[in-house]
Structure 1
Amino acid sequence: MTTGTRLEEGLPPAGRRTREEHPGPDAAWWFVSIVSLLVIGRIWVAPWVTQDGVRAWATVFIAICVQALPFLVFGVVLSAGITAFVPASVWSRVLPRRGAAAVPVAGMAGAVLPGCECASVPVAGSLMARGVAPAAALTFLLAAPAINPVVMVATAVAFPGNPEMVAARFGASLVVAVLAGWAWLRFGKGEWLRIPERPEHSGGRWDAFRVAVRHDFMHAGGFLVVGGAAAATINVVIPAAWVNEVAGIPWAAVLTLAVLAVLMSICSEADAFVAASLTAFSPTAKLTFLVVGPMVDLKLIALQTGMFGRRFAVRFIPLTFVLAVSVSAFAGGVFL
């Protein structure tokens, strides 16, 4: 059989292998990397892992995922509902035409929609896909999990007789969300942000709803698991004694609780009770914990990276963190 005959029959030329017959260098590289990590873990990490440590990691990981999953489902369903049932023209009528005015309106919209940070990411992605300005959608993404009614009630219950903490959390969180939206409106570039594409569908609205739910849940759920695993690892590795030592230094206490809010990745509906239990820290440090957590944590970093791309995450997340720490420290110093 000649080479020409083999090509005519759709067969590879003699002496050549197809991709299926001979895996490329990427597959081999991944295989070697995984084997190397397993060997390194077995030699250097395994001796330090105790049964109690494994149980603690599993407890934290499951708690984070179970706590966040209902709100993620809520956000996915809401996102799919926006995609399938809300015409794009609605947003042009609800939000002001000027981006600078649309940002604070979107921030206040977060005050009426219950949900946590896991829910806000797919909803913001759906809003962008429906034509909402990215700056306004990002403002909603930050505001919704921080100032919604459920969070405010939980904060009031966690800090009884201290309405100043509730007001300070609401005000500081809203200011951070609006400032971040305005900053992205002024300095953000289109190529930095990957606007999610809605899956194509050929059926009616309910079919579109079903397809969008499946698409968003599979996409966002995977990154929730990655963020939950990272948060559980950090919670187990960092000794509690290290945290208590810095509680007496004002600036160090603020930065410590800001970093802990990122690492612990507690759902915004529950973080007020954790903050109230940190009795060694000042009210300002606790406020920083409450403002930073719903806007920047490991779950959100993973979800935002997966939804909007790495180029977006490396710019927007540090911006949000700096604004959240600065505004909460100022608000705590003035009002608490």
Structure 2
Amino acid sequence: MSYRVITATLKARTAVHIGSGQGNDLTDALVRRDAQGRPFIPGTAIAGALRTLLTRLAPRLGHSLCKVLAEDKRERTTSCSCAVCHLFGDVNPSDKENADSRASRILVFNAYPISNMPQSLIRDGVGIARVTGAAARAGSVKFDLEVLPAGVEFELRMELRDPTGEDEQLLAVELAEWEAGRLWLGGNVARGLGAFSLENLQFKRFPLDTAEQVLAFLKSDEPWEQAQTQPGWLQQKTGMLSPTANHRDVPGVARGWVEISGTLQAEGPLLTNDTLVSGMTGFDHAPLLAQMGDWRRPVLTGAGLRGVLRSHAER
């Protein structure tokens, strides 16, 4: 028996909005904070992203479909015993006599910033009328939201309770996806927010085979700091897997990944407005800048690019 924990660093590649569902006089959508005012990423948000990704990946690794992907709506509401539900808990838990529902075997903790409290920013947006291509005139199309800047780092910690070898293998698969850069958390990810990198990933064990080890574990306020790192865990678990053609045509199951990159060259003056900076400096408009290392560089927001692409596609 052993205590098993995964630690890592979540580093934002773009601005991040982890919403609280509330606004104030400054912005329509505030970042989620704890009672001390510290921004954080709820463990439920991280676990939800993990489960969603694994639900799409597991069928391509030879596992059965989760009931949430079933074509029959009635079947989606029944108890499920797939590999994903074995790790994250039954998607439709039941208290019936013959039910085999179990709680999650993985505990995902809230992720807090590693360094000093990051300075938040305000991003604004406006709805565009599809016909005219100009700003829509409805009163609700002008909006803004609070974001944390690119580069902010969060401490990730997950604990495993009585996992099987298959549980660890599936978890390693999706963490490998995150390490490859396919990780988004929070709101407005389709508009360019919430892209993260997974860094410093470590899988650790704390043996609990003797009374002395159990006592040492119980006395430690941070047992994950005392646990022993298992080198090569991710490579070992993922190296034994190979994708299959199973369920490839089922909606919701992963089929592939496409990434398009390029360089945009402006042919004239360009402005992406930062309303917070313009309001503080007294200018009508100010360029939106992001901290990249020791430099601040101008940013083209994903929302702006997405809007242009959608407008052209609709034509």
Scaled by the length of structure 1, what TM-score is found?
0.21
Scaled by the length of structure 2, what TM-score is found?
0.22
Greater RCO structure (CA 8 Å; 6+ sep): 2
Answer 1 or 2: which has greater strand percent: 2
